[in-house]
Amino acid sequence: EVQLLESGGGLLQPGGSLRLSCVASGLRFSNYGMTWVRQAPGKGLEWVSSISASGGSTEYTDSLKGRFSISRDNSKNTVFLQMSSLRAEDTAVYYCATISGAGGDGTCYDYWGQGTLVTVSS
């Protein structure tokens, strides 16, 4: 059974930094690209960042470039999201998910963690 377990969320003040982790089990982690998606309170889903299976390629939503950094350690089946200069609008549940092919029609996010809550407030 595939499981993704996020950790590292919490309450912090504006301007602070935080590193989220997502540990995967039940799959060959090094074969999967990984992504982070967030959901602010009462809002919809928003893609944050993705990293390729090898870690050699990363992508970010434009509004977060320079503040967030994604990385992975395939030896530990873990993907990370380093967040800095945090703002109140970064308050959200952050989910990690695996990226898989969509039957020749792009990609999809097929396994998801339960999420970790990040609250940025003074």
Partner 1 sequence: DIQMTQSPSSLSASVGDRVTVTCRASQSISRNLNWYQKKPGEAPKLLIYGASNLQGWVPSRFSGSGSGTDFTLTISSLQPDDFATYYCQQSYNVPPTFGQGTKVEIK
- Residues at the contact surface with partner 1, assessed by CB under 8 A: 37, 39, 44-47, 50, 59, 61-62, 95, 97, 102-110, 112-115
* Cα–Cα nearest to 34, from 64, 1, 4: 4
* Cβ closest to partner 1, residue 11 vs residue 102: 102
* Cβ closest to partner 1, residue 44 vs residue 56: 44
Q: Which regions of 8-122 does DSSP assign to beta strands (E)?
A: 10-12, 18-25, 33-39, 45-51, 58-60, 68-73, 78-83, 92-101, 107-112, 116-120
Shortest approach of partner 1 to residue 107 CB, angstroms?
A: 5
* Cβ closest to partner 1, residue 2 vs residue 11: 2
Shortest approach of partner 1 to residue 76 CB, angstroms?
A: 22
Asked if 22 and 113 touch (Cβ cutoff 8 Å), the reply is yes
Shortest approach of partner 1 to residue 50 CB, angstroms?
A: 8
Tokens of 5: 């377990």
